[in-house]
Structure 1
Amino acid sequence: MRLFARRIKLSTASIFCTIFFLTAALQARANEELNSLLKDINGISVHSYLAVNAYYNYSANSGDKSLLQDIVDSLNGVNEATQALEDNSSKEVYQSDVETILDELQTLKELLNTNIKFVKDEGYPDLRLSDDLARQNKDITEKLALVQEKIYIDAPPLKSTPQQKSRDLALLVAQMMTKYSARSSSSVAQTFQGSETDKTLDQLALDVDSVLTSLDKSVSEPEAKKTLNGAQTKWKFIRNSYVNYNDNNVNYVVNLYSIRMIESLRELSEQL
């Protein structure tokens, strides 16, 4: 009888262990899929800002055809991330949000085309159209951020990982660069003012400092550390331009190193 009872206890313990490890494995798989969704969301957000940023630069230098190609390249990045989002099975939990975002992205592309056509025809930007573009992009980013927060609720550990921090920092730098470009272009400067609670560029620079410090403490793998060091070096080169904005700063240089920093941070997120 005792032997029988002991076997029952062992069997019960074995079942509980199996259930525990199976549940853990399923949760790990779910988190992996949600992490992939976070990557897609970040890709859309970053590239949409890069596209708007490229448009601001083009509106101030419409004779530079390479800036048109920058817009096209950024939109291709949006399309690739959007396709990955649509192919991700985890999106079904947030289907209604995703469908709204896809519609909003189509509107953004149409606004970009309308703005570009106006600049081509007239040689200068239409402030109302530029304002519509900035507002549409901001609205998309906010909707994507809401989905991101829902993912954090479903998978809390994903919020504070070095990988996600590097993604969020890439987006922050893209937002700062776009704000800087709008400010540098007198024709569209008033279209990117944001709300009264928006942080200034010098305040945002302090946020960049903080995240870079956090990443420096948590990233140890040699290849990832090398990539992070590259991002830090680029930041040191342009930090003062963001902190102490003035008309004498060269927007091209700030854009060049900001984009390279974004690329380094996105590469870092793939290495972590």
Structure 2
Amino acid sequence: MSSRMLAIVFSTLLAFTLPLFSAATYAADAAVSLLKLHQLRLAAQKTLGDFYMFNGMEGDQRYSRMISESLTEVNTHLAALTEMPGEGAKALRSQLDQQWKGYQIDLNNLVSALKSQGYTDLQPVADLAARNQQLLVLSQELYSKIQQESSYSVPAMTQRSREQSLLMQGIAVDYASRSASVGATFMGGGEARPMEELVSEFASKMSALEKDPQNTPQLKQSWAGVATKWRYIENSLINYNENSVPFLVNKYSNTIIQGIEQISAQYAATSL
């Protein structure tokens, strides 16, 4: 084969290969960004729950440390979200950055007030909860926009497990707010949902995930471990008005979320 013919063959192969390589690269970048954004959202939710625990447990310093750790985690994930696939995602990323800066200032001010005077007024706490909800909505919009502009979709099982983590985090925050007597947090659409409804939704979705035929024996075992921890606090969540156990719910919800996130990582690794 002549050198000219070889050059033509090579150019043709390159023309076909480069778009495929670029598409794979964009998908990988989008997958990383979406994971970071999901982890950011979990940590942002947790900052509010940590604050409620700090408030309700009368300034217990372990929750002050947890607030600092959750804030650091959000800032780390936000700093890692540098490459956005399109203009829409870039604009939302910028909005998220500004919203987070304002929320962080408000949260730090409330923590300082608790440390210095031992209490906070209810209105600033309600404002903080509303601002946290705005962050969650904005991060969800960015999550959707990244998928749209990158033409990449999070695999179904990975997405379902991530949503389960977020639901558990939301339940934990809601429970902590009730225990701290600062009123129910905003769940999802802006109105507080009954705790019984949230618990029922989590249990139903977890059962479906646990029984999904795509699970390997190892994944089934992992889900069984999460389910065992869930059953330990399920009744306490349902009967939150009778016997408040915020420390127990906080501790187990954290381990449940860790377990689900490990399962989610296994789904993502196998594109499920």
Q: Choose which of 80, 84, 87 in structure 1 pairs with 2:80.
A: 84
Distance 1:183 1:132 in 2: 16
Aligned ranges 1:81-230 → 2 under 5 Å: 81-86=77-82, 89-90=83-84, 92-93=86-87, 94-154=89-149, 158-186=153-181, 188-189=182-183, 192-193=185-186, 197-216=191-210, 217-230=212-225
**Alignment coverage as a number of residue pairs:** 256
Which segment drifts farther, 74-83 or 216-225?
216-225
Shift in alpha-carbon separation, 1:253–1:108, aligned structure 2, 3 A: same
Residue pair 1:101, 1:144 contacting (<8 A) in 2 also: yes
Distance 1:196 1:145 in 2: 14
- TM superposition score normalised by structure 2: 0.83
Residue pair 1:115, 1:126 contacting (<8 A) in 2 also: no
Deviation at residue 144 of structure 1 after TM alignment: 0.7
Which secondary structure does the structure 2 equivalent of 1:59 belong to?
helix
Which secondary structure does the structure 2 equivalent of 1:90 belong to?
coil
Q: Which runs of 4+ in 1 moved over 4 A?
A: 17-25, 154-157, 193-198
Distance 1:176 1:104 in 2: 23
Q: Choose which of 27, 39, 48 in structure 1 pairs with 2:23.
A: 27
Distance 1:204 1:156 in 2: 32
Which secondary structure does the structure 2 equivalent of 1:248 belong to?
coil
Deviation at residue 177 of structure 1 after TM alignment: 0.6
Deviation at residue 91 of structure 1 after TM alignment: 5.1
Deviation at residue 30 of structure 1 after TM alignment: 2.2
Which segment drifts farther, 28-37 or 170-179?
28-37
- TM superposition score normalised by structure 1: 0.83
Q: Choose which of 16, 33, 37 in structure 2 pairs with 1:37.
A: 33
Per-residue Cα deviation, 1:80-107 (whole angstroms, up to 9, x for no partner):
2112213xx2355411110110111111
Q: Choose which of 220, 243, 250 in structure 1 pairs with 2:245.
A: 250
Distance 1:201 1:250 in 2: 15
Distance 2:151 2:213 in 1: 18
Aligned ranges 1:48-63 → 2 under 5 Å: 48-63=44-59
Distance 2:19 2:103 in 1: 41
Which secondary structure does the structure 1 equivalent of 2:249 belong to?
helix
Identity %: 24
Distance 1:21 1:165 in 2: 33
Which segment drifts farther, 115-124 or 230-239?
230-239
Cross-structure match for 2:270: none
Distance 1:159 1:60 in 2: 37
Residue pair 2:46, 2:173 contacting (<8 A) in 1 also: yes
Letter in 1 for 2:121: D
Letter in 2 for 1:208: F
Gaps of 5+ in 1: 1-10
Distance 1:150 1:125 in 2: 37
